[in-house]
């Protein structure tokens, strides 16, 4: 569903830009923070007032946006030495948005996160075959220690991410996301501070992939290169003092307690009125692994914003407590993400190898019941409803045409499911194993209770984090849940829907050559229409004809913020790693803390 | 007796070594994979995983890994670096240890000051209301999971006072007021449990002591009841209380494990839980070995106090 | 318990003699030894509920019904429903089974291994004893929960591995006590006599040491039953307790507090009450049983060096 949405938007917006190789509008207008979740609490922001201080929403009162420390909860200590090449952990990316900035050479546009905007590059150009991408690096960008950022630094980061490093017998692994970049042949620095990336194969969607907020530049060449050459291949950003390019620089990191970042006065971005960003003096990320402790701290006024992360996102019941205590003084950022899917391991013998049986389960499960119970009250069933937060209402028209699977009344679907089960010879049901994450067992309990009605005894194998993350990629389990975040363009979904041999982490474990073939055709599609057409074929094949995966529901991630927190970029979906605090300001008088 | 203490002192090193070997190899049998934990929630190719495993030194033979670890313990690096985030374990320990030691210290002090008088009072009151009250309170301390008490305390503060303890830990030297506000709740909760053990042991040994022959003798000699209780019975009751202090040191750290997580204290219990869930072998290993050494030292300390307090030692051995 | 008090005398006349005698015996017992009778009755009730959970429960503890979620206690659901619309009464009843299983398994494993280690160590004495005592010393001070946590991480969350982890934590405590009491019994005349006439080691341990040190160990172990149940709750908090779908009190409590304490307090209160009542009953029973036994029995025996003295005091605090 989200992919479909992205497909449309990406194609309509950035694909047009990138295909033509045209430079996008220069500095993104950071002031138009009109975001769905904020509409109730934010007065219309000023668009083009040339004054230094913006006009405040309250008439007759002038106020600057500058100043204040934002206090946010963070789910845990940032993992892997703050290295975004190593981890997509939200505990890092929440902090990373401040330290390393919201993008790399490009970023998701603030006013519409489905489009690509320039960030550390001012423009780009692709050759007609889409095998060479050339970026012009922005002038006047500085690392936090005052060193100028150049094309050489960008090349260092690309090389480290894609090729890793090898010194003597020591190797540094490339970034975990290496595969998403495509087949990079080489990265070169050209004159006039330009960078060229050459691919072995056509790569028309490179820009959309690159704009993924997980890819943050956190590796200063001037501090790391010499040490890597001396053999310290596994050096992390933490080892060099977290010198980044983002709007905030590190002041102090007290492990298990707090990460303090403070405004970087050299930061280059400006708002629509030429005011330098960021507005706030700094951010304190307080490490709070327990969501209940976070609730209490927020509701007693010790936090300005909640943490991001699966257990910390609010449920409907927890949200009630926030509203009761804080009323108008709190607002809730809602971001779509975290899909709940049942995937089968058809490489392991069992009744689930029969597509009829898988289809029966898809028809049987009461998807709507998952939202209040398994997903904490926020979500929508997939793929039969339009996501609630779509930024552009006209996009809804596209969705009318989208296939909406299995929309009939539940009783009819369930009767059909029973017929299919009987037809496959399993009228009496069977037993099936299911891989579960101890941190979040609710979806497993939901599935177990649901499938019990069809006579299927779901055996839950509940594993803690370490064991679970290893088990996910093995063939030891009959079924598991899809909880991964796929790359936000349809081509990127192969990593979660594709063949096991190529994608061990895929939701469903299958070796279906037809899926390979469909993804190949998707990548080779030359027009938007054919891309959409092939994507629909893939969807139908995966979810209906074969039912390798049963899409059940998509969750909505809810993060609380105090009402005086203004100008926050709230991505419509996948806010997990998309963190941007450059434009936040604190309207303390109104918030009345 | 000196010989006995010398023996115990000498045995610390081999015991710690043996324990470290057990901890090391037990950990290696654990399923789960640090590499996957580092990479997080994303698909990644097996080649990348393999390279990362190589980079982290996880492919070497176990004895080599053990040797490397042991050497680093000796040369002061305390197990090298965390696999998860590359932080030197020495700095992890130096940051986490003081928090837990302070929490445990406050708890022990508070418990001693509270539980000895309460234990005496309960024993003297013998089956009247102060005794019952104290016994019920101690049973509560033993029976209620301190984690549940902690959650209820937070909830109570929220609902009735619209207040919660601060969330960013500071050392007592940096900001005593903030430090106190953060530490007071976990200390109280932990002390409830810890002192319940102490009160019960003090009470029962007091009761036992008060019925013994030499007390009767003391009474018949015409000593006041106060003197009898404080000079004779109490002195005897202190000995098992001291034993209890040592025996329940595990309780303190177990409690710290949970309370540190709930109250946002960057202590060693919390570090250990995180490391265990992330399969961060070097950190678990070093912290667990540290706890072994700590418990050995505590036991030794209790023995020394013991010889000082108990007059029978000089006679019995 | 009240029923016991009322019924005992009233039914005496109408029942056949042996039953009436038993009932009146119970009545006398309940009146004179209330401290034992009350917790014992609670535990017996708990065990009965656990044993006949399928009969006692009014609903399937796993059956979900989203339309009925978070309903307050009432005629349909005595304890209300949780976030999945499951019947909390039935879950508490089935949870008794899980908790008793974990507690019983943990305590019996600890009792067997601890007693074994303590007995043999005491019987053979010498270097072996010294070595065993050092190991026990280390484990005694080692945080109990950390041991349990590591075992669960190693074996994967399940009721058995939770029990093993807890048992491992309890073993040294039991070992210490059983060693002390075996040491003192070893010094008794009849044991010395048995040794003199050449009774086998096996026979001495089995016939003399074990039966005679049984009661104090039993008293101690009863008290630990509650500890085991509390430990399971704590592990549940970390997501490592008894895994779903089995309803455990610990996990119900955690979910209740974290997710909907304000919206549905009953989801926390009832499992919490069940937990606290049974843990209290265990602690009280342990206390009472200890009081029944002669508290000075171990201490009056000749302490054999420092360990004996310490053990004597341990005995006293049980």
CATH of the domain at A401: 3.10.105.10
**Residue B252 belongs to domain spanning:** 99-316
Residue B304: inside a domain, yes or no?
Answer: yes
pLDDT grade, residue A589 (50/70/90)? low
Over residues C137-156, the mean pLDDT reads: 74
Residue C318: inside a domain, yes or no?
Answer: no
User: Which chain A residues have a beta carbon less than 8 Å from that of C240?
Assistant: 438, 464
**More confident position, A144 or A377:** A144
Residue B55: inside a domain, yes or no?
Answer: no
Q: What is the CA radius of gyration of chain A?
A: 24
User: Which chain C residues have a beta carbon less than 8 Å from that of B272?
Assistant: 146, 149
The chain-wide mean pLDDT, for chain C, equals 75
Beta strands A282-287 and A258-263, pairing class:
antiparallel
Subunits adjacent to chain A (3 or more Cβ pairs under 8 Å): B, C
In the predicted structure, residue A382 carries a pLDDT above the cut 80: no
Residue B236: inside a domain, yes or no?
Answer: yes
Q: DSSP assignment of A500-552, as one string?
A: TTT-TT-SSB---HHHHHHHHHHHH--SHHHHHHHHHHHHHIIIIIS-SEEEE
Q: Strand locations in A241-280, DSSP E? A: 248-254, 258-263
Closest-CA residue to A380 (of A214, A553, A209): A553
pLDDT grade, residue C11 (50/70/90)? very low
The answer to whether A121 touches A138, Cβ cutoff 8 Å, is yes
Distance CA(A429)–CA(A361), nearest Å, equals 11
pLDDT grade, residue B72 (50/70/90)? confident
**More confident position, C286 or A9:** C286
Residue B296: inside a domain, yes or no?
Answer: yes
Q: What is the CATH number of the domain that holds B221?
A: 1.10.3720.10
Over residues C62-79, the mean pLDDT reads: 85
Please report the pLDDT score of residue B55 as a whole number.
Answer: 66
Q: How many domains does chain B have?
A: 1
Please report the pLDDT score of residue A296 as a whole number.
Answer: 92
Helix (H) or strand (E) segment spanning residue A283: strand A282-287
User: Which chain C residues have a beta carbon less than 8 Å from that of A449?
Assistant: 62-64, 84
Please report the pLDDT score of residue B26 as a whole number.
Answer: 67
Residue A423: inside a domain, yes or no?
Answer: yes
Distance CA(A516)–CA(A520), nearest Å, equals 6
pLDDT in tens, A467-509: 777 777 788 889 988 765 555 567 777 878 888 887 777 888 9
In the predicted structure, residue A350 carries a pLDDT above the cut 60: yes
Say which of B30, B38, B265 has its CB closest to residue A80: B38
Please report the pLDDT score of residue A319 as a whole number.
Answer: 92
Residue B43: inside a domain, yes or no?
Answer: no
- Tell me, yes or no, whether C140 and C272 share the same domain: yes
Q: What's B264's DSSP letter?
A: T
Please report the pLDDT score of residue A10 as a whole number.
Answer: 41
- Coil, helix or strand at residue A345: strand
Q: How many CB atoms lie within 10 A of CB C310?
A: 23
Q: Is B36 on the interface with A (CB under 8 A)?
A: yes
The answer to whether A542 touches A57, Cβ cutoff 8 Å, is no
- Tell me, yes or no, whether C122 and C242 share the same domain: yes
In the predicted structure, residue C14 carries a pLDDT above the cut 70: no
In the predicted structure, residue C38 carries a pLDDT above the cut 80: yes
User: What percentage of chain A exceeds 70 in pLDDT?
Assistant: 83
In the predicted structure, residue C249 carries a pLDDT above the cut 60: yes
Please report the pLDDT score of residue A157 as a whole number.
Answer: 94
Residue B293: inside a domain, yes or no?
Answer: yes
Subunits adjacent to chain C (3 or more Cβ pairs under 8 Å): A, B
User: Which chain A residues have a beta carbon less than 8 Å from that of C62?
Assistant: 445, 448-449, 452
Written as six digits, the tokens of B158 are 């929220």
In the predicted structure, residue A167 carries a pLDDT above the cut 70: yes
Q: Provide φ and ψ at A381, rounded to 5°.
A: -75, 145
Please report the pLDDT score of residue A20 as a whole number.
Answer: 36
Please report the pLDDT score of residue C10 as a whole number.
Answer: 45
Distance CA(A77)–CA(A80), nearest Å, equals 9
Q: How many domains does chain C have?
A: 2
pLDDT grade, residue B181 (50/70/90)? very high
pLDDT in tens, B182-233: 999 999 999 998 888 888 888 877 777 777 766 677 777 777 777 777 766 6
Q: What residues does A170 pair with on adjacent strands?
A: A167
Q: Which residue of A has its CA nearest to B44?
A: A176
Residue C53: inside a domain, yes or no?
Answer: no
C57/chain A closest Cα distance in angstroms: 18
Q: Confirm whether the ipTM is greater than 0.90.
A: no
- Non-local CB neighbours of C6 within 8 Å, separated by 6+ positions: none
Residue B283: inside a domain, yes or no?
Answer: yes
In the predicted structure, residue A389 carries a pLDDT above the cut 80: no
Residue A371: inside a domain, yes or no?
Answer: yes
In the predicted structure, residue C272 carries a pLDDT above the cut 70: yes
In the predicted structure, residue A59 carries a pLDDT above the cut 90: no
In the predicted structure, residue A13 carries a pLDDT above the cut 50: no
Over residues A164-172, the mean pLDDT reads: 83
pLDDT grade, residue A249 (50/70/90)? very high
The answer to whether C128 touches C121, Cβ cutoff 8 Å, is yes
Q: Which residue of A has its CA nearest to B94?
A: A255
Q: How many domains does chain A have?
A: 1
Please report the pLDDT score of residue A363 as a whole number.
Answer: 92
Over residues B293-310, the mean pLDDT reads: 73
Please report the pLDDT score of residue B1 as a whole number.
Answer: 58
**More confident position, B27 or C164:** C164
**Residue A529 belongs to domain spanning:** 337-555
**Residue C26 belongs to domain spanning:** 1-31
* pTM of this prediction exceeds 0.95: no
**More confident position, A540 or A62:** A540
Q: What is the CATH number of the domain that holds C267?
A: 1.10.3720.10
């Amino acid at each position: 569903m989200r992919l479909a949405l992205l497909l449309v938007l990406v194609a309509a917006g950035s694909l047009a830009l990138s295909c033509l190789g045209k430079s996008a509008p220069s500095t993104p207008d950071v002031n138009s923070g009109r975001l769905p979740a904020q509409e109730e609490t934010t007065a219309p922001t000023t668009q083009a007032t040339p004054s230094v201080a913006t006009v405040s929403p309250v008439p007759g009162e002038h106020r600057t946006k500058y100043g204040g420390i934002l206090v946010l909860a963070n789910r845990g200590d940032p993992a892997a030495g703050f290295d975004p090449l190593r981890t997509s952990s939200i505990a890092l990316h929440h902090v990373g948005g401040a330290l390393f900035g919201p993008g790399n050479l490009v970023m998701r546009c603030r006013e519409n996160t489905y489009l690509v905007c320039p960030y550390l590059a001012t423009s780009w150009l692709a050759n007609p075959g889409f095998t060479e991408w050339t970026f012009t690096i922005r002038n006047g960008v500085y690392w936090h220690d005052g060193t100028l950022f150049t094309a050489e630094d960008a090349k260092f980061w690309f090389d480290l991410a894609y090729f890793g490093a090898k010194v003597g017998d020591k190797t540094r692994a490339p970034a975990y996301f290496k595969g998403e970049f495509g087949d990079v042949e080489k990265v070169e620095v050209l004159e006039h501070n330009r960078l060229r990336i050459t691919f072995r194969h056509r790569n028309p969607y490179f820009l959309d992939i690159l704009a993924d907020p997980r890819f943050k530049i956190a590796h200063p060449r001037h501090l790391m290169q010499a040490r890597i050459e001396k053999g310290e291949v596994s050096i992390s950003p933490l080892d060099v003092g977290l010198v980044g390019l983002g709007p905030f620089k590190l002041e102090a990191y007290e492990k298990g307690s707090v990460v303090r970042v403070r405004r970087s006065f050299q930061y280059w971005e400006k708002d629509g009125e030429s005011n330098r960003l960021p507005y706030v003096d700094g951010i304190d990320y307080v490490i709070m692994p327990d969501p209940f402790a976070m609730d209490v701290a927020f509701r007693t006024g010790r936090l300005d914003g909640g943490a991001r992360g699966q257990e910390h996102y609010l449920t409907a019941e927890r949200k009630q407590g926030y509203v009761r205590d804080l009323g108008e003084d709190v607002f809730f950022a809602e971001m779509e993400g975290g899909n709940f899917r049942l995937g089968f391991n058809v490489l392991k013998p069992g009744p689930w190898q029969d597509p009829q049986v898988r289809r029966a389960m898809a028809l049987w499960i009461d998807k709507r019941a998952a939202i209040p119970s398994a997903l904490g009250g926020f979500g929508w069933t997939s793929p039969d409803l339009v996501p609630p937060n779509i930024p552009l209402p006209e996009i809804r028209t596209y969705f009318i045409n989208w296939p909406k699977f299995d929309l009939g009344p539940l009783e009819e679907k369930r009767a059909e499911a029973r017929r299919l089960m009987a037809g496959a010879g399993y009228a009496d049901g069977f037993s099936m194993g299911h891989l579960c994450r101890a941190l979040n067992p609710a979806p497993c309990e939901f599935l177990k209770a649901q499938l019990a009605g069809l006579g299927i005894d779901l055996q839950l194998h509940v594993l803690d984090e370490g064991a679970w993350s290893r088990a996910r990629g093995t063939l030891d389990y009959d079924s598991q849940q899809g909880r991964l975040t796929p790359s936000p363009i349809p081509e990127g979904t192969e990593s979660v829907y594709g063949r096991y041999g190529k994608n061990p982490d895929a939701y469903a474990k299958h070796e279906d050559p037809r899926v390979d073939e469909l993804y190949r055709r998707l990548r080779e599609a030359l027009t938007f229409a054919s891309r959409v057409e092939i994507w629909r074929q893939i969807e139908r094949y995966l979810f209906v004809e074969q039912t390798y995966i049963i899409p059940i529901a998509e969750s909505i991630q809810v993060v609380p913020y105090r009402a005086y927190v203004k100008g926050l970029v709230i991505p419509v979906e996948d806010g997990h790693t998309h963190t941007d605090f450059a434009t936040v300001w604190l309207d303390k008088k109104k918030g009345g803390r | 007796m000196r010989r006995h203490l010398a023996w115990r002192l000498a045995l610390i090193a081999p015991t710690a070594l043996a324990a470290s070997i057990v901890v090391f190899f037990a950990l290696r049998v654990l399923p789960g994979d640090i590499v996957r934990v580092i990479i997080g929630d994303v698909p990644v190719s097996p080649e990348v995983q393999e390279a990362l495993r190589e980079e982290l030194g996880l492919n070497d033979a176990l004895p080599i890994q053990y040797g490397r670890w042991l050497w680093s313990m000796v040369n002061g690096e305390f197990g090298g670096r965390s696999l998860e985030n590359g932080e030197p374990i020495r700095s992890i320990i130096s940051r986490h240890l003081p928090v837990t030691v302070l929490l445990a210290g406050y708890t022990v002090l508070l418990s001693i000051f509270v539980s000895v008088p309460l234990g005496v009072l309960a024993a003297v009151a013998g089956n009247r209301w102060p005794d019952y009250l104290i016994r019920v309170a101690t049973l509560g301390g033993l029976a209620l999971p301190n984690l549940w008490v902690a959650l209820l305390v937070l909830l109570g503060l929220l609902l009735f006072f619209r207040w919660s303890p601060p969330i960013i830990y500071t050392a007592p030297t940096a900001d005593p007021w903030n430090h106190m506000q953060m530490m007071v709740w976990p200390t109280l909760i932990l002390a409830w449990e810890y002192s319940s053990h102490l009160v019960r042991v003090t009470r029962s040994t007091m009761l036992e002591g008060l019925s013994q022959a030499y007390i009767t003798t003391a009474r018949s000699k015409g000593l006041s009841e106060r003197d009898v209780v404080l000079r004779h019975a109490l002195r005897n009751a202190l000995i098992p209380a001291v034993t209890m202090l040592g025996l329940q040191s595990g309780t303190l750290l177990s409690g710290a494990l949970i309370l540190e997580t709930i109250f946002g204290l960057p202590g060693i219990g919390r570090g250990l839980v995180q490391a265990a869930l992330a399969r961060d072998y070097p950190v678990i290993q070093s912290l667990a070995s540290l706890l072994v050494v700590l418990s050995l030292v505590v036991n030794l300390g209790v023995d020394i106090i013991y010889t000082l307090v108990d007059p029978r030692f000089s006679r019995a051995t | 318990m009240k029923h016991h008090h009322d019924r005992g005398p009233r039914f005496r006349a109408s029942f056949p003699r042996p039953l009436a005698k038993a009932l009146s015996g119970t009545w006398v017992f309940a009146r004179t030894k209330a401290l034992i009778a009350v917790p014992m009755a609670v535990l017996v009730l708990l065990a009965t509920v656990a044993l006949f959970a399928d009969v006692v429960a009014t609903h399937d503890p796993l059956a979900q019904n989203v339309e009925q979620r978070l309903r307050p206690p009432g005629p349909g659901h005595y304890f209300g429903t949780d976030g999945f619309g499951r019947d909390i009464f039935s879950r508490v009843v089935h949870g008794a089974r899980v908790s008793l299983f974990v507690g019983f398994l943990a305590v019996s494993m600890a009792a067997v291994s601890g007693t074994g280690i303590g007995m043999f160590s005491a019987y053979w004495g010498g270097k072996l004893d010294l070595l065993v005592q050092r190991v026990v010393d280390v484990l005694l001070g080692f945080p109990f929960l950390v041991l349990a946590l590591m075992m669960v991480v190693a074996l994967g969350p399940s009721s058995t591995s939770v029990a093993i982890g807890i048992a491992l934590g309890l073993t040294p405590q039991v070992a210490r006590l059983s060693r002390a009491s075996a040491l003192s019994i070893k010094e008794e005349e009849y044991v010395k006599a048995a040794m003199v006439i050449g009774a086998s080691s096996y026979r001495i341990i089995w016939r003399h040491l074990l039966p005679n040190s049984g009661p104090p160990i039993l008293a101690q172990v009863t008290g630990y039953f509650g500890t085991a149940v509390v430990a399971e709750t704590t592990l549940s908090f970390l997501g490592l307790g008894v895994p779903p779908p089995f309803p455990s009190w610990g996990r119900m409590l955690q979910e209740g507090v974290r997710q909907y304490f304000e919206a549905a307090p009953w989801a926390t209160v009832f499992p919490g009450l069940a937990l606290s009542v049974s843990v209290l009953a265990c602690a009280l029973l342990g206390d009472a049983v200890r009081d029944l036994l002669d508290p000075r029995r171990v201490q009056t025996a000749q302490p054999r060096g420092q360990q004996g003295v310490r053990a004597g005091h341990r005995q006293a605090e049980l």
